[in-house]
Amino acid sequence: MEKILEIKDLHVHFSTYGGTVQAVRGVNLYLNKGETLAIVGESGSGKSVTSNSIMQLIPTPSGKIVQGSIHFKGRDLVQTTKKEMRAIRGVDISMIFQDPMTALNPTLTIGDQLTEGLKQHASISKAKAKEKALEMLRLVGIPNPDSRLKQYPHQFSGGMRQRIVIAMALICEPDLLIADEPTTALDVTIQAQIMELFKEIQEKTGVSIILVTHDLGVVARVADRVAVMYGGKIIETGNKDDIFYHPQHPYTIGLLQSVPRLDMDDDILQPIDGTPPDLFAPPQGCPFTARCAHAMQVCANVHPFTSHLSDSHQVECWLQDARAKRQPV
């Protein structure tokens, strides 16, 4: 399959008064054309920083990509200028942010906000821009689009605002759509509708999607492949079946065990004990060592190599490395 995006050895640091936060530490990822890749992990694992790095939206001067490359359709985005990135954002790569109410301008009509991107990036008449805006509202399931174009964000429900944000992201027909926690503020019924909408849009447009989330139910519904992040690193990747039915990293197993399930009689959830690592001074070895019931001495001192379990399934864990002696810490 054709790779539309490839991230190699990405490191992102943030300078603060307390020291340097190593938020992303050597991430390697790829995305195929027309595919949905879900990046999962608990808060602070580096998911949003990775996605913001693709868009070159790391806040400066505190934040900086200190190492690595992000190749999009053969072009390294890390080496692009601000002017070049402005031409790419919204046209080739679009992003859906977490809270639709903060992503929309409360003083502008929906029509003005939808057509803004077209006016910025394409030579198009006002009538054609309006026609395209109406088309996008129909695509995302907004009823009565003609009258809705004249309304303001506060006149829409949370689910409708999220649909409008999706329409804004897709109006210039990007090749890559990044959705950062797109269903966080929505109830489960609306979440299901939005996820179905993503699937329908992908079938109609062929857009590649990166879905950033901690909701494994959402991942199970729409993802083709899954990357599990912890402590600023990708610790396991695989297709949906690999991750949900054959997880190999103890952290991935812990995430799956902490999700409520209707097919289990036990009413007590199994949380992952402990706290994530301090990224001011990240551990030398596997970042999950302090919370792992299967940790060995080597885990604390040396980060594991990538073990290729199959063509689709890779994990960074000493438990899968034949060279490790299985002696508890």
For the chain, the structural domain boundaries read 3-92+174-320, 100-173
pTM listed for this prediction? 0.91
Mean pLDDT of the 37-44 span: 93
**Which tens digits make up the pLDDT trace of 153-211?**
999 988 889 889 989 988 888 999 999 988 776 777 877 888 888 888 899 889 999 99
pLDDT exceeds 60 at position 328 = no
Helices (H), the chain: 47-54, 82-88, 100-103, 110-121, 126-139, 145-148, 158-170, 188-205, 216-222, 240-245, 250-257, 297-301
Q: How far apart are CA 175 and CA 195, in angstroms?
A: 19
* Pairing of the two strands 19-32 and 75-76: unpaired
For residue 282, whether the previous peptide bond is cis, meaning omega lies within 30 degrees of 0, is no
CATH fold for domain 3-92+174-320: Rossmann fold (3.40.50)
Q: CB–CB of 161/100 below 8 Å?
A: yes
**Which tens digits make up the pLDDT trace of 287-306?**
999 999 999 989 999 999 99
Angle, in degrees to the nearest 10, between helices 158-170 and 110-121: 10
Q: CB–CB of 307/316 below 8 Å?
A: yes
Q: CB–CB of 292/253 below 8 Å?
A: no
- Virtual torsion, Cα 194, 199, 200, 203, nearest 10 deg: 160
pLDDT at 325: 53
**Which tens digits make up the pLDDT trace of 132-146?**
999 989 988 899 999
Q: How big, in percent rounded to 5, are the helix, strand and coil portions of the chain?
A: 35, 25, 40
pLDDT at 260: 76
The whole-chain average pLDDT of the chain stands at 90
Two tokens at 232?
């600023």
**Which tens digits make up the pLDDT trace of 66-122?**
999 999 999 999 999 999 999 999 899 999 987 766 788 999 999 999 998 888 777
Amino acid at 322: A
Task: Indicate the pLDDT class of residue 244, thresholds 50, 70 and 90.
Answer: very high
pLDDT at 121: 75
3-state secondary structure of 235: strand
pLDDT exceeds 60 at position 256 = yes
Mean pLDDT of the 48-70 span: 95
Chain centre to alpha carbon of residue 242: 19
DSSP for 161-214 reads HHHHHHHHHHTT--SEEEEESTTTTS-HHHHHHHHHHHHHHHHHH--EEEEEES
Q: Which residue's structure tokens are 């990822």?
A: 29
Task: Indicate the pLDDT class of residue 329, thresholds 50, 70 and 90.
Answer: very low
Task: Indicate the pLDDT class of residue 324, thresholds 50, 70 and 90.
Answer: low
pLDDT at 103: 81
